[in-house]
Amino acid sequence: MNQLDTLKQFTTVVADTGDFRQLAKFQPQDATTNPSLILKAVQKADYAPLLAETLGRHRGEAVDAVMDRLIVRFGSEILSIIPGRVSTEVDARLSFDADATVERARRIVALYRAEGVDVERRVLVKIAATWEGIQAAARLEREGIRTNLTLLFSFAQAVACGRAGVRLISPFVGRIYDWHKKSAGTAWDEAANAGAADPGVRSVRQIYRYYKQAGVKTEVMGASFRNTGQIVALAGCDLLTISPELLAQLAASDAPVVRALSAGAADSGEALPELPGEREADFRYAFNEDAMATDKLAEGIRAFAADARHLEKLLQSA
């Protein structure tokens, strides 16, 4: 079997794309989207009719409402192809407003329900893993709205998400790797920081081990990969969300893939960090102690917010 087929024996493979026309050839279980991926897809000629139809049906509505309708339309098309769940993101500009995040998530879910989608089984609402986002997710989970906490870079974020009872988290492997590589500069040794030694891979393994040891039910989905080596080093993780480009590379390779993570072996490895307290102040202090996480979360929110603004301008000018 190729690497992709072997990986599917250990891990739920998720496609990280808004370009749903690419999905069938990789046969992922789930799919994830975000404003950046939808923006990239909607500018392709193949999706011009879908964009025109959405705008035509909802012209005159507020631009944020039309944007939500568009991303739900993409999500519904994805769900017609895959057997599992789609993750749809709340506007990153709401990342520090728990009440607004809850209301936006409810609207997204209502739009999916209007399309006849079984939202509790098939939709995850993506929310940035800020303190406010985690509190919003806890409220939504109590309502039966399942959440995927994204832009996750630190152990403190993962602990808080587990305590909040979120359904799934998405630690960003590649962006953690990027930060450490940039920080090291000319001292960076690529070979010494590859595979299991990759700082992004190590972060996900640490979170996975803590969740399994502590009996946390939240699913761990590695995300934001830079190469297939990072993916293979996390074989056995609950889920891995992978770009079409890297899915194609895995499908083209017959190199061996060995299970690297399993719940039964989760008690091995280096000692886990001290758990932060449960108060907001405890979370903020523990998170602030991680320079990489604070940098990358802020950067990620800015980038997703910029793409949301770009998508809104595109909708207004179409």
| pLDDT reported for residue 36 | 86
Class at the top of the CATH hierarchy for domain 3-317: alpha beta
Res 304 pLDDT > 90 = yes
Res 119 pLDDT > 80 = yes
Q: In sequence order, what are the beta bridge partners of 88?
A: 125
Condensed to tens digits (0 to 9), the pLDDT of residues 4-50 reads: 999 999 999 999 999 898 898 999 999 999 888 888 898 999 898 89
| pLDDT reported for residue 35 | 81
Give 272's pLDDT tier (boundaries 50, 70, 90).
Answer: confident
- As a whole number, mean pLDDT of residues 232-258 equals 97
Report whether 214 contacts 273 (CB < 8 A).
Answer: no
The type of residue at 161 is C
| pLDDT reported for residue 318 | 76
| Percentage of residues in the chain having pLDDT higher than 70 | 98
* pTM of the complete model: 0.95
Report whether 199 contacts 216 (CB < 8 A).
Answer: no
Average pLDDT, the chain: 95
Report whether 246 contacts 225 (CB < 8 A).
Answer: yes
| pLDDT reported for residue 215 | 95
Condensed to tens digits (0 to 9), the pLDDT of residues 42-72 reads: 899 989 889 899 999 998 899 999 999 999 9
Select which of 126, 181, 212, 217 is catalytic: 126
- As a whole number, mean pLDDT of residues 257-266 equals 86
Give 317's pLDDT tier (boundaries 50, 70, 90).
Answer: confident
Res 141 pLDDT > 80 = yes
Catalytic site includes residue 181: no
Domain residue spans in the chain?
Answer: 3-317
